[in-house]
Amino acid sequence: MAPKALIHHILTLLFTFLPLAYSLDFNYPAVFSFGDSNSDTGGLIAGLGESLGPPNGQTYFKKPSGRFCDGRLIIDFLLDAMDMPFLNAYLEAIGAPSFKRGCNFAAAGSTILPATASSISPFSFGIQVAQFFRFKDRVLDLQAKSKKLNKYIPDDEYFAKGLYMFDIGQNDIAGAFYSKTFDQILASIPTILLEFESGIEKLYDQGARYFWIHNAGPLGCLPQNVAKFGTDPSKLDALGCVSAHNQASKLLNLQLHALCTKLQGQYLDANITYVDIFTVKSNLISNYSRYGFEQPIMTCCGYGGPPLNYDSRIACGQTKILNGSSVTAKACNDSTEYVNWDGIHYTEAANQYVSSQILTGKYSDPPFSEQMPFLLKLKF
Is residue 5 within 8 Å of residue 70, measured between CB atoms? no
CA distance 76 to 352: 9
CB 30 within 8 A of CB 163: yes
> What is the sign of the dihedral through the CA atoms of 62, 300, 281 and 15?
positive
**Out of 33, 345, 356, 364, which one is annotated catalytic?**
345
124-153: buried (b, 16+ CB within 10 Å) or exposed (e) per residue? bbbbbbebbeebbeebeeeeeeeeeeeeeb
172 is catalytic: no
3-state class (DSSP) for residue 53? coil
d(CA 15, CA 359): 11
- Kindly give, in sequence order, each residue whose CB lies less than 8 Å from that of residue 305, ignoring residues fewer than 6 positions away: none
* 33 carries an active-site annotation: no
Cα–Cα dist 249/319, whole Å = 33
Cβ proximity of 85 and 78 under 8 Å? no
Helix then strand then coil, in percent of the chain rounded to 5, is 40, 15, 45
What are the angstrom distances between the C-alpha of 212 and each of 36, 43, 107, 358, 380?
15, 20, 18, 12, 28
Catalytic residue among 8, 33, 36, 37: 37
- Please indicate whether residue 356 is annotated as part of the active site: no
Q: Which of 70, 76, 172, 342 is catalytic?
A: 342
Residue 221 to residue 346: CA distance in whole angstroms: 11
Backbone angles phi, psi at 238, to 5 degrees: -65, -25
Rg of the chain (C-alpha set): 20
Closest to 213 in 3D by CA, of 253, 181, 175? 253
Q: Which residues are catalytic?
A: 37, 342, 345
